[in-house]
């Protein structure tokens, strides 16, 4: 399913820089370790001449002061050049998306040119391949961290503060992510999906999603909409075009089109939809949605049929 996501497999320029740094640091650490082990070996087992040469003051100045100063300075310059751009505020040409960390899901809002939120969604972020994306990151409760390793580095989502993170996906595809700052409870089950579309497709998709989904057609789905309504789901969830306007939980207007459920942790099909609604606590313990054990088998299947039509 691609989750947890691979960490050293960059698919964009920001991630590529971080991966290069990671490998460089790892190799450097290995070389330094080998050198230190070698000198310990000389100190313990070497001939007096060798010990005198290796233990002399010149080597300590060279190997202990000059070399580290040089290498670390070079590393600092290199890493700053790779990462300074990552958190820069908007330059005007990016797609801007506001992502708010929640316990334990992601509230997504797409911003237009004037900075107004024109579309709300959850847990899945749609971008255009090859185009820079600026994420405005914040949190509504505790500190979370946005991390899609193939596209960029981690950025903390801090309540009361907006952090910026740039991403670019070189190729269209699906990129999985993970919350990277312990946020209590099922933090390890707080995954994320970023979908990069071929150029030209994204605007039409987002525009279509600002309109409410079509009404359910099949008898089972219509029954499911009734069960959804009378079970009070609208108190926490929004389905645009219906009376469901809750904001406490993820927006479900397009849940049928999402590639995953539960924030990146389950595939999305009729079965998992039913399983999540019936008892999400067994899947993601302590998440904020209660079990719905009072639904009969037919009602459960009907709700899953209805949710599947929201696409």
Partner 1 sequence: MRARFSFTRQVPLLGLLFLAGCKPVDADPHPMPGADAGRGRAIVQATGCASCHVIPGISWPKGRVGPSLEGFAGRALLPGGHVNSPENLTGFVKDAPAYAPDGGMPPIPLSEAEARDVAAFLYTLEPG
Question: In the numeric block, which tokens belong to residue 169?
Answer: 């996906």
- Binding residue for partner 1 (CB under 8 A) from 283, 289, 306, 310? 283
Distance between CA atoms of 305 and 227, rounded to whole angstroms? 11
Does 225 bind partner 1 (CB under 8 A)? Our answer is: no
Binding mask 94-113 for partner 1 (x = CB under 8 A): --------------------
Half-sphere exposure (Cβ direction) of 241: Cα atoms closer than 13 Å: 13
Selected range binding partner 1 among 82-90, 166-174, 230-238, 296-304, rule: CB under 8 A = 296-304
Does 297 bind partner 1 (CB under 8 A)? Our answer is: yes
- Binding residue for partner 1 (CB under 8 A) from 255, 305, 309, 310? 305
Residue with the two structure tokens 């609604």: 277
Q: Closest distance between partner 1 and the C-beta of residue 150, in Å?
A: 20
φ, ψ for residue 35, nearest 5 deg: -65, -45
- How many C-beta atoms surround the C-beta of residue 201 within 10 A? 13
Do 298 and 304 touch, CB atoms closer than 8 A?
no
Q: What is the DSSP letter of 235?
A: G
Instruction: Tell which residue, 278, 274, 307, has the closest CA to residue 290.
Output: 278
Does 296 bind partner 1 (CB under 8 A)? Our answer is: yes
Q: Which helix (H) or strand (E) holds 304?
A: helix 297-308
Q: Closest distance between partner 1 and the C-beta of residue 303, in Å?
A: 10
Distance between CA atoms of 163 and 128, rounded to whole angstroms? 21
Question: In the numeric block, which tokens belong to residue 127?
Answer: 């971008």
Question: In the numeric block, which tokens belong to residue 29?
Answer: 């650490």
Selected range binding partner 1 among 8-16, 33-41, 205-213, 277-285, rule: CB under 8 A = 277-285
Selected range binding partner 1 among 94-102, 112-120, 245-253, 291-299, rule: CB under 8 A = 291-299
Cβ proximity to partner 1, 14 vs 228, nearer residue:
228
Residue with the two structure tokens 């505790």: 142
Do 128 and 108 touch, CB atoms closer than 8 A?
no
φ, ψ for residue 101, nearest 5 deg: -75, 135
Q: How many residues bind partner 1 (CB under 8 A)?
A: 22
Does 219 bind partner 1 (CB under 8 A)? Our answer is: no
Q: Closest distance between partner 1 and the C-beta of residue 225, in Å?
A: 16
Residue with the two structure tokens 């740094």: 21
Distance between CA atoms of 124 and 132, rounded to whole angstroms? 17
Q: Closest distance between partner 1 and the C-beta of residue 227, in Å?
A: 13
Binding mask 229-268 for partner 1 (x = CB under 8 A): -------------------------------------xx-
Does 190 bind partner 1 (CB under 8 A)? Our answer is: no
Q: Closest distance between partner 1 and the C-beta of residue 83, in Å?
A: 35
Cβ proximity to partner 1, 165 vs 277, nearer residue:
277
The contact set with partner 1 (CB under 8 A) reads: 1, 266-267, 269-276, 278-279, 282-283, 296-298, 300-301, 304-305
């Amino acid at each position: 399913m691609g989750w947890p996501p691979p960490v050293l497999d960059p698919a964009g320029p920001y991630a590529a820089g971080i991966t290069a740094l990671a490998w460089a640091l790892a190799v450097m650490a290995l070389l330094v370790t080998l050198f230190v082990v070698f000198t310990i070996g000389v100190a313990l087992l070497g001939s007096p001449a060798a010990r005198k040469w290796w233990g002399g003051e010149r080597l300590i100045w060279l190997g202990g002061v000059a070399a580290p100063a040089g290498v670390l300075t070079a590393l600092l310059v290199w890493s700053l050049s790779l990462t300074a751009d990552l958190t820069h505020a908007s330059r005007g040409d990016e797609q801007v998306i506001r992502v708010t960390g929640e316990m334990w899901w992601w509230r997504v809002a797409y911003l237009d040119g004037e900075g107004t939120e024109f579309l709300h969604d959850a847990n899945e972020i749609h971008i255009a391949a090859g185009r820079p994306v600026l994420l405005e990151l914040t949190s509504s409760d505790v500190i979370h961290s946005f991390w899609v390793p193939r596209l960029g580095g981690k950025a903390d989502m801090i309540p009361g503060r907006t952090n910026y993170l740039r991403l670019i996906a070189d190729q269209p595809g699906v990129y999985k992510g993970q919350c990277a700052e312990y946020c209590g409870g099922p933090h390890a089950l707080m995954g994320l999906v970023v979908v990069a579309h071929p150029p030209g497709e994204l605007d039409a998709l987002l525009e279509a999603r600002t309109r409410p989904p079509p009404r359910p057609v099949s008898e089972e789905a219509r029954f499911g909409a009734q069960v959804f309504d009378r079970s009070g789901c609208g108190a926490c969830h929004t389905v645009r075009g219906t009376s469901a306007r809750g904001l406490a939980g993820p927006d479900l207007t397009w849940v049928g089109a999402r590639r995953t459920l539960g924030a990146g942790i389950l595939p999305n099909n009729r079965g998992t939809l039913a399983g999540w609604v019936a008892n999400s606590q067994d899947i993601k313990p302590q998440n904020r949605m209660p079990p719905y054990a009072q639904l009969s088998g037919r009602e459960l299947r009907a709700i899953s049929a209805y949710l599947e039509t929201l696409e």
